[in-house]
Amino acid sequence: MAENQLGGQQVVLLPEGASRLLGRDAQRTNIAVAVAVAGAVKTTLGPKGMDKMMVSDLGDVVITNDGATILQEMNVEHPVAKIMVNIAKTQDKEVGDGTTSVVILAGELLKGAGDLLDQGIHPTTVIKGYKMAATRASEVLEEFAKKVSISDEPTLEKIAMVSMGSKNVGDEKTKSELGKMVIKAVKQVMEKDASGKTIVDHDFIKVEKKAGGNVSDTAFISGVLVDKEITHPGMPKSMANAKIALLDVALEMEKTETDARIEITSPEQMQAFLKQEESILKGMADKIRKSGATVIFTQKGIDDVAQHFLAKAGIMAVRRVKKSDIEKLSRATKAKIVTSLDDLGSDDLGHAGLVEERKISGEQMIFVERCKDPKSVTIFVRGGNEQVVDEAERSITDVIGAVTSAVVNGKYVTGGGSIEIDLANELRSYAGNVGGREQLAIQKFADALEAIPKTLSESAGMDAIDTLVQLRSRHKSKGGEVYGVDIFKNSVGDMNKNGVFEPLMVKRQAIDSASEAAEIILRIDDIISSRGKSKGGGMPPGGMGGGMGGDME
């Protein structure tokens, strides 16, 4: 197929086994793949959404409700499917929540585009209309948004609860506790940059997990949990009012890098050599003791002899600590990271109310806690087994994302599909003003947004069409704009009253990413694959990317 006639001579452009799809065929295939990917995550949307169990080729089991995780675990092959996976990942990275929604939205946008293409509308017109719609949708979001700040805990707690809503992480009480922990963590690490902008660096909210116990045992630690053990059994296991030194220093004899050799010819010389080594290591321990430190963490190693002297001085020491943990410890305890023992002084030391080694599910961990106003904190996640702690960790990461998005941007909207109905209504009236063929694309954009309330009502077992009709008419009356899907009562309900709040940023990012992905995919009108057909990832002409378990068209 990849051949051309040129002056009677055949020109072969593509290698043997390569395949090619052109124009409408390429678009149709790509749209079908995107719709299939969206179909694969659709049933997990919302609190009544189902979970998925994914089994890898190695037999690892992941049970999750998280859109980004599902798509990642699916290991999709088709390039368009990969674009869809990437938007979920971007959503996860940028705002931490709304990963299922963004994929559903992108799938619907493409489905709508497919209808328009069938009516003979050019892809560039569709793209232009979608861009206009996305811009207008952003403005409308701002118009409907309400303000929230870090001190507005009741609102933030609701945002946290909604973010956790669909995740299987314990009862309401546990979820509420987890939400409070996340808000506390965000509050602790939040800072203002030079221009007065709020920043929250997620690196400094450490989410450490260990299977065992119950999700309700999950704890907030005002400091850092280090997954290490104390180096020497003779050292104290617990230190109250710890004075902490953070070192990037090896408490060992320097290893010679070159080939230099020390010639030892007599037992006396050997003795002298060992003595000297010992006194150097003792000197190191002395420097630490003199600084007043009672606990040290070093990125490097600690020699047995040095351990012995430190233990004798009653100092607790932890070696080979990850650089990232040392940085967290520095922000939590206010200790300076010291790179040479000669520089170590009392003002480099940090403080923690308690440093203690505890045995958790058979393994030692070091708790550096009760720090004063720590700029780095830890949420220690527990749960019955690996699957449970993993999902709890993912949920907590989502909540951190949601709460952060809310406080950084300072705005939230009502969820349960209510904001999507508002956006759709506004877009439909905007479409009327725009006119031209673009208006058709803007209307499709509106339809795509309504897939969110539609899917929510379907997952609650309600009639989706009835629900949409009811919601649209509710939203036309004054005060009706907060009506959405009340999944627990199986009716339409006031999302303001139900406290279904979501950060504006999560919605905006979803709309931006979904329309961008739709644009990228629609621009493709030629797919050339030179991958061997035998590899499974190849492209049989006419259809590909099967086995996705979605509703392929």
* Closest distance to ligand ADP from the beta carbon of 386 (Å): 22
Q: Which does 129 bind (CB under 5 to 8 A by kind): Mg ion, ligand ADP, none?
A: none
* Closest distance to ligand ADP from the beta carbon of 149 (Å): 21
Stretch that binds ligand ADP, among 19-27, 91-99, 244-252, 519-527 (CB under 6 A): 91-99
Name, in order, each residue with C-beta under 8 angstroms of 297's C-beta and a sequence gap of 6 or more.
Answer: 226, 244, 245, 246, 247, 317, 318, 321, 325, 326, 329
Stretch that binds ligand ADP, among 30-38, 228-236, 237-245, 409-417 (CB under 6 A): 409-417
Q: Does 95 bind ligand ADP (CB under 6 A)?
A: no
Contact 141, 507 (CB under 8 A): yes
Write the binding mask 457 to 496 for ligand ADP: x where contact by CB under 6 A, - elsewhere.
Answer: ---------------------------xx-x---------
Residue number with CB closer to Mg ion (395 or 515) = 395
DSSP 461: T
**Cα angle vertex 537, ends 532, 543, to 5°?**
100
Whether 66 is catalytic is yes
Stretch that binds ligand ADP, among 38-46, 53-61, 268-276, 363-371 (CB under 6 A): 38-46
Name, in order, each residue with C-beta under 8 angstroms of 421's C-beta and a sequence gap of 6 or more.
Answer: 449, 450, 453, 468, 471, 472, 475, 481, 483, 484
Q: Which does 464 bind (CB under 5 to 8 A by kind): Mg ion, ligand ADP, none?
A: none
Name, in order, each residue with C-beta under 8 angstroms of 216's C-beta and a sequence gap of 6 or more.
Answer: 170, 173, 174, 177
The C-alpha atoms of residue 75 and residue 316 are separated, in whole angstroms, by 45
Burial of 429 (0-12, 13-18, 19+ CB in 10 A): exposed
Q: Which does 416 bind (CB under 5 to 8 A by kind): ligand ADP, Mg ion, none?
A: ligand ADP
Q: Does 511 bind ligand ADP (CB under 6 A)?
A: no
Per rule CB under 6 A, count of chain residues that contact ligand ADP: 25
The C-alpha atoms of residue 304 and residue 314 are separated, in whole angstroms, by 15
Q: Does 94 bind Mg ion (CB under 5 A)?
A: no
With CB under 6 A as the contact rule, the residue among 415, 503, 545, 550 that binds ligand ADP is: 415
* Closest distance to Mg ion from the beta carbon of 51 (Å): 13
Query: How does strand 52-55 pair with strand 61-64?
Result: antiparallel
Q: Which does 550 bind (CB under 5 to 8 A by kind): ligand ADP, Mg ion, none?
A: none
Contact 106, 34 (CB under 8 A): yes
Stretch that binds ligand ADP, among 40-48, 140-148, 339-347, 362-370 (CB under 6 A): 40-48
Query: How does strand 363-369 pair with strand 350-360?
Result: antiparallel
With CB under 5 A as the contact rule, the residue among 92, 97, 108, 157 that binds Mg ion is: 97
Whether 99 is catalytic is yes
**Residue of 44, 64, 69, 100 marked active site:** 100
DSSP 217: G
The C-alpha atoms of residue 140 and residue 137 are separated, in whole angstroms, by 5
Q: What distance lies between CA 397 and its chain's CA centroid? A: 6
**Residue of 29, 69, 90, 99 marked active site:** 99
* Closest distance to ligand ADP from the beta carbon of 41 (Å): 8
Write the binding mask 307 to 336 for Mg ion: x where contact by CB under 5 A, - elsewhere.
Answer: ------------------------------
Q: Which does 47 bind (CB under 5 to 8 A by kind): ligand ADP, Mg ion, none?
A: ligand ADP
Structural element, H or E, at residue 3: strand 3-6
CA–CA distances in Å: residue 166 to residues 64, 457, 460 = 10, 14, 12
Whether 60 is catalytic is no
The C-alpha atoms of residue 327 and residue 106 are separated, in whole angstroms, by 39
Q: Does 96 bind ligand ADP (CB under 6 A)?
A: no
Q: Does 121 bind ligand ADP (CB under 6 A)?
A: no
Name, in order, each residue with C-beta under 8 angstroms of 499's C-beta and a sequence gap of 6 or more.
Answer: 158, 161, 162
Residue number with CB closer to Mg ion (148 or 247) = 148
Residues near Mg ion (CB under 5 A) = 97
Active-site positions?
Answer: 66, 99-100, 398
Residues near ligand ADP (CB under 6 A) = 44-47, 49, 65, 67, 97-101, 162, 165-166, 415-417, 452, 456, 484-485, 487, 500, 502
